[in-house]
Amino acid sequence: MNVDIFGVYFPIVLLIVIGFLFVAVTLLVTKVVRPNRPTPLKQQIYDCGENPVGKAWSAFNVRFYIVGLIFIIFDIESALMFPVVSVFKKMQEMGNGGLILIEILIFLLVLIFGIAYCWRRGDLDWVKSYHVNKK
């Protein structure tokens, strides 16, 4: 089924443009009314009353990166699953329900095995310890 690209996707582009304009126009309008008296003390960052020492970032904890990686894996998995589950009902009516169920089960079980492995080896812990059950 073909749909008209203009009629359907134009509002998205319009919304994004209006989002930009909303921010830009509001900031321009308020630039006129708000005071602007910068002093060095005001422009320091807030550190609960102390003077800030050193730069903002010292050492990165790799657990943030691991969370990002695991997220990407599951995101791609869900992106692959979306078209498959949206034809499940149609396939069911055509009589191929068992086939598509088996395929979805295989796909999901592989990933469940993956996350179970990561859980068991302690990779999902936020605070990683050295004493993990290595079986």
Partner 1 sequence: MENTVVSYFFQFDCVKDFLARMSESLGFNVIPLFVVAVFLLAILVVIGGLALVGGAGTLAERKISADMQLRYGPNRVGPYGLLQFLADGVKMFLKEDVIPTDADKFLYLVAPVLCIVGVFGTFAVIPFSDGFAITDLNVGVFYLFGISSLVGVGVFLGGYASNSKWSLLGGLRGASQIVSYEIPVTLSALSIVLLAGGLSFGTIIGAQSNLLEQYSWGHGLPWNWFIFHNPFTIVGFFIFFIGALAEANRAPFDLPEAESELVSGYHTEYSGMRYAFFALAEYIEIFVVCGTAVALFLGGYNVPFKIGGDGIVGQLLQAGVFIGKTFAMYYVVIWVRWTLPRLRVDQLMTLCWKYLTPISLFNLIGCAVWMYLFNGKSFLQLFF
Partner 2 sequence: MFGTILFICSAIFTICGAVMVAVSKNVIHASIYLLISLIGVAGLYLTLGADFVAVTQLVVYVGGVVILMLFAIMLTGGADLKVVSRYGFTKDPGMGSLKTYVIGGLTSLFMAIVTGKLIYNAVINTTTENQLNMENSVEQTVSKIGTLLVTKHVLAFEISSILLLGALVGAAIIARPVKLGDE
Binding to partner 1 in span 80-99, by CB under 8 A:
81-82, 85-90, 92, 97-98
Pick the closest to residue 115 from 65, 68, 73 (CA basis). Answer: 73
Pick the closest to residue 62 from 116, 133, 128, 121 (CA basis). Answer: 128
Q: Which residues bind partner 2 (CB under 8 A)?
A: 1-6, 8-10, 13, 57, 60, 62-66, 68-73, 75-77, 79-80, 82-87, 90-91, 96, 99-100, 103, 106-107, 110-111, 113-115, 117-118, 121, 123, 128, 130
Q: Rank residues 29 and 101 by Cβ distance to partner 2 and give the closer one.
A: 101
How far is 3 from 93, CA to CA, in rounded Å?
25
